[in-house]
Each structure stands twice: as structure tokens, then as C-alpha cells.
Chain A
Amino acid sequence: GAVVSQHPSWVICKSGTSVKIECRSLDFQATTMFWYRQFPKQSLMLMATSNEGSKATYEQGVEKDKFLINHASLTLSTLTVTSAHPEDSSFYICSARDLQGEHTQYFGPGTRLTVL
């Protein structure tokens, strides 16, 4: 149980285009989903916390107009990187917190974004 999927697993796009990444909890309901960004050989950097049915809470320094987050249901959150540029190239990972699990987070497999 407690499986989180992410789609796509990798994407290559041209500079200026927008990319949408989906995060789904497959066998549990997630009140909260987290979006992280990870550069090579670095730690997980929390970008935003997404709560179902409400606006996402962004961490300091993360542009909410550039990284659009929608948490439409208890099993789906999306991250859209708008007008992507090469510096947005990174590994994006979501995680979901189980309704019952309090602290426990389950991570998605990540999405490798490369912007040319």
C-alpha cells in the first residue's frame, strides 16, 4: 500500500513552454501533498505544500506564478512549470501525506525535467 505515482517520469521541452507534472496517491487519500525540487547531489528543497481544495503554500523564494500548483482532489496534485527556462531543469519529486498517517510521507518516483 501507500503508493504514489508521478507522470511523466521525464520530459524534455523547449525554453518558453509550460510543463505539467501529475502526482497521484494510488491507494490512499492524501490531504496534503508536497512538491520538492532536487538538484544533482543535493538535498530535497521544499517548494510548496498543497492542501486539497485550497491554495498552495509556497516556500520563500519560490515564485507561485511560475510554479502553479493545483490540488483538485484527495488523490491528485499537479505542478505546472510555466514558461520554463534551462535553469528550471531539475528533478521534481512529490510526496503525499496519508490522512491517517500524520507525519508519514510517501514519495513519488520523481520527474526529470530538462529545458533546452
Chain B
Amino acid sequence: GENVEQHPSTLSVQEGDSAVIKCTYSDSASNYFPWYKQELGKRPQLIIDIRSNVGEKKDQRIAVTLNKTAKHFSLHITETQPEDSAVYFCAASKGGSYIPTFGRGTSLIVHP
């Protein structure tokens, strides 16, 4: 089955800095890669996603890049703000089952 590795497990940055979270996946058939933000005790919220036919996608301060050959994808947050502090999860899934495999999560802490 699919295996998703996520790094780092914890990321601490100063407000205004950029943050990068990286994930790798093992199943070359995976073709959908969402990123979720989860605040403490809350539900995961989809913040951005990318499909395998696209190499990069951007939404304001958030961007995701995908390297299919290397089987890794990354989340980039620019101009971080304290409200960006949360746990971020990457995931990978493929058509047919659409069952996602989640990474272990990255706790992002943005210091004011």
C-alpha cells in the first residue's frame, strides 16, 4: 500500500518568515495530494490540493509543488502569521479507491 512520509514533525518560525513542509509518497499511481490544516481539537480543513498533472499550485500565501519523478510534494507558506500555527497533514490518494494515506503531521509554530 501507499506510504507517506512527512518532515519535519515540528517547525518553529518567526512571524513573516517562510515555512516549508515536505512529503514523500511510495505509490506512483497516486494522483491527488491534498494538504490539511488542523487546529487543536478541531477538524482538518483542506487548505490546498494538487493533482498529478500539475507541477505547482498557488493560493495567496500558500503554494504546493509536486515532483512526480521523485515522488515528493511540498507545502510552502510565505509571510507566516501567528494564526498559521497548527498541525499540517499531507496526504496522497489515487482514483478508484480515493482512500487517502496521511502523513504523520507537522506542528507549525509561528512566533509573533
Contact = CB atoms under 8 A, between A and B. Distances in A.
A binds B: yes
B112 interface: no
A102 interface: yes
A104 interface: yes
B73 interface: no
Contacts of A107: 36, 43-45
B43 A102 contact: no
A46 interface: yes
A97 interface: yes
B104 A103 contact: no
A43 B44 contact: no
Interface string B32-48: 10101000011111100
Interface in A73-115: 91, 93, 97, 102-110, 112
Interface size class of A (residues with CB under 8 A): 20 to 34
A26 to B, nearest CB: 14
A93 B97 CA distance: 19
B25 interface: no
19 contacts: A34-B99, A41-B105, A42-B104, A43-B103, A43-B105, A46-B99, A49-B97, A49-B99, A93-B44, A102-B95, A102-B98, A103-B32, A103-B34, A103-B93, A104-B46, A106-B46, A107-B43, A107-B44, A112-B41
Given A103-B49, A104-B49, A106-B46, 17 more contacts: A42-B105, A43-B89, A43-B102, A43-B105, A44-B102, A46-B99, A46-B100, A93-B44, A97-B98, A102-B32, A102-B98, A103-B34, A103-B95, A104-B34, A107-B44, A110-B43, A112-B41
